[in-house]
Homo-oligomer: A and B are copies of this chain.
Amino acid sequence: MTALSPVLDRLDKSLDQSLARLFDLLKIKSISTDPAFSADCRKAAEWLVADLKTIGFDAAVRDTPGHPMVVAHHDGPAGAPHVLFYGHYDVQPVDPLNLWHDDPFDPKIKETEPGRKVITGRGSADDKGQLMTFVEACRAWKAEHGSLPCRVTILFEGEEESGSPSLKPFLDANAKELKADFALVCDTGMWDETTPAITTTLRGLVGEEITVKAANRDLHSGEYGGAAANPIRILARILADIHDETGRVTIPGFYDGVEETPSQVLKSWEQLGETTETFLGPIGLSVPSGEKGRSVLELVWARPTAEFNGITGGYTGKGFKTVIAAEASAKVSFRLVHKQNPDKIRAAFRKFVEERLPADCSVEFHPHGGSPAIQLSYESPFLTKAKDALSDEWPKPAVMIGSGGSIPVVGDFQTFLGMESLLVGFGLSDDRIHSPNEKYEMSSFHKGQRSWARILDALTR
């Protein structure tokens, strides 16, 4: 631990400076899904490149057809592993803005209870705060030792929240440059405030936007109601048909490739102590909405879903308008597990929708990304080393968990770089990522930096 100790000390002493840097990054409105914020996305990439250069990385903004990538390289000692660190600098939209207690792009430190501080703002947890934990660990290591313990390549993406359209082509075109021994991906969470976690199971994702079109213009519901097709009615019927009474998805072929989770894995999840009450209670719910007879952890980690992420049609302003709209649309996503095939799911969904359309109506589909589920290998020696390093830093030993969310980059690293990923992150379930009032625990930010220092050290042994 001779190399590690001074790095940990330095991270403790430089916390204020590391916070100032994070705040600079959080102030940049890098919302990738909305074209109005394209310049902000580029600004975030440029900020990161400038910062990485101060540490001694060979860093550059790399253009793509969408938002740019950040790629940075730093040498390591001969014989030490070469890691590719991945994070994303783009963030989710902030609407509805009126529900935020503070400006989402003016981060603050708040004391939520005595001795517990959080960092507020969009991106604080997802993923700017997380990626900076690694950057800060590298900075401190370099400052102490003039070098890094491993060879490090960094890849920061700017389209993670909008389906990563440029990622696959970029990995394909730059495979030789980006290939490492394995990837470190920092976009996941801890089990709880005191228990670090390594995520070994990830659901995949298929996103689809559908627009049902009926009449060639908006109609008066008095004049035409009862005779003219109403696209909201058609859309509601289609969406309602997707689940049966037991919560199962009814799209033919949807469960092809879904496996039952081994009983010993289910048992280890049971031991985590999560119940329907502990999981749903904090968000004000009590009845699991998914397939009956399965625990909430199984539902979110190991079962596929169909969710409706947005719907709009007709008059949605204040008051009332007796209109029959010409069209209505919905954003639909599917979480995938095991060997479900994203392309087949998308095709089956489209067929399902088309079969339910009246003869004189039409539908338009717009795809929003697709990725299979990931099951990481429990046998990797890097996994064991990282687990031990995390257990050294935190009050409780690290656990291996599943994740309900997709991190498509993990599949892409496998496909394009032939490389496994180690998923370590410091988010908490109440961080409100993708929601108003996103925050990141001060302990996540501080001990996250220390955790990476420990992991980098452990990987060299």
Contacts and interface: CB of A to CB of B under 8 A. Distances in A.
A93 B321 CA distance: 8
Contacts of A328: 311
B233 A308 contact: yes
Interface string A299-332: 1100111011111111111111111110010110
Q: Say how many copies of this protein the assembly contains.
A: 2
Contacts of A347: none
A320 B223 contact: no
B227 A289 contact: yes
B239 A296 contact: no
Interface in A57-98: 92-93, 95
A49 B35 CA distance: 49
Interface stretch (A149-157, A172-180, A211-219): A211-219
Interface string A197-223: 000000101010100001111111111
B315 A93 contact: yes
A283 interface: yes
B227 A290 contact: yes
B434 A226 contact: no
A180 B360 CA distance: 48
Classify chain A: how many residues form its interface, as a range: 35 or more
A227 B432 CA distance: 17
Nearest to A217: B435
Nearest to A432: B217
Contacts of A318: 33-35
Contacts of A391: none
B233 A285 contact: no
Given A93-B315, A283-B219, A227 B436 contact: no
24 contacts: A33-B317, A34-B318, A93-B321, A163-B319, A214-B284, A218-B435, A219-B435, A220-B405, A220-B434, A221-B335, A224-B300, A225-B333, A225-B335, A227-B299, A227-B300, A228-B289, A235-B311, A286-B360, A289-B358, A308-B314, A309-B320, A310-B315, A311-B314, A320-B369
